Amino acid sequence: MIEINGKPYTGQEQIKSDLLTLNMGPQHPATHGVLRVEIKTDSEIIAQATPYLGYLHRCFEKHVENIDYRGVIPFVDRMDYLASMSMELGYCLTVEKMLGTEIPKRAQYLRTIIAELQRIASHLMFFGTYAIDLGAFSPFLYAFQDREDILRLFEELSGARLLYNYIWLGGVWNDINDDQLRRIEAFCDKMEENLKKYHALVGENKIFISRTANVGVIPVDMAYQYGATGPVLRGSGVNWDLRKTRPYGMYEELDFDVIVGEGLKGQVGDTWDRYYVRMMEMHESIKILRQCLDGIEEGSIMGKVPKVLKVPEGEIYMRTECPRGELGYHLISDGGKTPYRLKVKSSCFTHTSMLPEMAPGMMIADFVAAIGSIDIVLGEVDR
């Protein structure tokens, strides 16, 4: 006879176990950077998850109060270091709007081309690392092979492979030549075919679907509550993309679709939908690139910006659609050579704040899939 606490065990009693506290991170590959998540588990089931931030905090917002407006650009590069061009574009648009600077048409086309190439590079990184999170290694190699074509072009244009300082106040630093434009066109042709293969290899894979469908569901109400944006919001079925709803640069003149989650493999808003949105967005980026290649015209790449730059007194909030969601810059100027205040609203930060609500009831392995699906970069979270 088995006894528990001195009483005979008949098989009907429920055995309760104590919760085990585990640290996932900050040096854990599944947390996509130096994110620490304290999880309380009952065996393999998560009861509670608490994210701890700040391991990559660089005092960015305080630093820029002592740096002139041009000197801020290398600092914004280091927020989302996997989408540095997008960080630069948002900041430059913010300052230019305060200055009333007119950007030459060629520079606007170049900015759009660079921004969409950066979006593809970022989503390829997501595709590769997400496959690794779920146990597949080969897609990572394929993704990096294609991403290398983009980084090589960025290196030719800016001299750097990761942190570029390419988009400047008034335009861009360096022009693009005809050979590079032809290479972008060839890249679009190649990527279009490759993306179909990658989706067939991963997205339609039975094991991948079983690991992602109906896992980490973010309902529309929850997405609105936490201020989700970008692929996370669109993965929940919400048709919202700043390039369409609040267009900037050349986007108003371009034709492309907004991809939303449809629940093709499970519930709308699950981790598979967030994967699907990013994969299909790369097709739309290729569509945008083709239109830019057809429409780009000769001309200057820099508008008129004063050498000694002083932004008029006032404040502005400007947001752009980056690969991971909306990035907002709240700039306050006192009329001097440096920002009085530059506050950055990070989509990665708001998405990280959703983890405590998503986690309870999940298995640990499913929680890894959920973290990967919101695609955070800790440089932008911590700033």
pLDDT for the residue numbered 1: 47
Which whole number is the average pLDDT over 138-143?
Answer: 92
What integer best gives the mean pLDDT of the chain?
90
For residues 354 and 228, is the Cβ–Cβ distance under 8 A?
yes
What is the band of 16 on the pLDDT scale with cuts at 50, 70, 90?
low
Class of domain 60-361: mainly alpha
How far apart CA 168 and CA 72 sit, in angstroms, is: 10
**H or E, element range at 314:** strand 314-322
- pTM for the structure as a whole: 0.90
Express as a percent the part of the chain with pLDDT over 90. 69
Q: Which two tokens stand for residue 39?
A: 């999880």
How far apart CA 151 and CA 159 sit, in angstroms, is: 10
| pLDDT(6) > 90 | no
pLDDT digits over 207-216, tens only?
999 999 999 8
Angle at CA of residue 71, ends 119 and 248, nearest 5°: 40
Widest Cα–Cα separation across the chain: 90
The structural domains of the chain, with segments of one domain joined by +, span 60-361
Which whole number is the average pLDDT over 42-48?
Answer: 87
For residues 333 and 311, is the Cβ–Cβ distance under 8 A?
yes
pLDDT digits over 219-234, tens only?
999 999 999 999 999 9
What is the band of 324 on the pLDDT scale with cuts at 50, 70, 90?
very high
Which whole number is the average pLDDT over 324-345?
Answer: 93
Which whole number is the average pLDDT over 182-188?
Answer: 94
Q: Which two tokens stand for residue 31?
A: 């947390």
Phi (first) and psi of residue 172, to 5 degrees: -130, 160
Residue 180 burial (CB count, 10 A): 14
What is the band of 24 on the pLDDT scale with cuts at 50, 70, 90?
confident
pLDDT for the residue numbered 382: 86
For residues 88 and 166, is the Cβ–Cβ distance under 8 A?
yes
| pLDDT(28) > 90 | no
The amino acid present at 348, given as its one-letter code, is C
Q: Which two tokens stand for residue 275?
A: 């994967």
| pLDDT(383) > 80 | yes
Spatial neighbors of 82 by CB under 8 A, at least 6 apart, are 121, 122, 125, 323, 377
pLDDT for the residue numbered 329: 94
User: What are the helix (H) ranges across the chain?
Assistant: 60-63, 73-77, 84-99, 105-133, 138-158, 178-198, 206-212, 220-226, 230-235, 242-245, 271-295, 347-352, 355-358, 364-374, 378-382
| pLDDT(10) > 50 | yes
| pLDDT(11) > 60 | no
Residue scoring higher pLDDT (69 or 33): 69
How far apart CA 260 and CA 277 sit, in angstroms, is: 6
Q: Which DSSP category does 4 fall into?
A: E
pLDDT digits over 252-308, tens only?
999 999 999 998 988 998 999 999 999 999 999 999 999 999 988 898 999 888 888
Q: Which two tokens stand for residue 57?
A: 């905090």
pLDDT for the residue numbered 14: 53
Residue scoring higher pLDDT (131 or 5): 131
Q: Which two tokens stand for residue 21?
A: 């506290």
| pLDDT(157) > 90 | yes
| pLDDT(340) > 60 | yes
pLDDT for the residue numbered 5: 53
pLDDT for the residue numbered 32: 79
The amino acid present at 81, given as its one-letter code, is Y
pLDDT for the residue numbered 4: 47
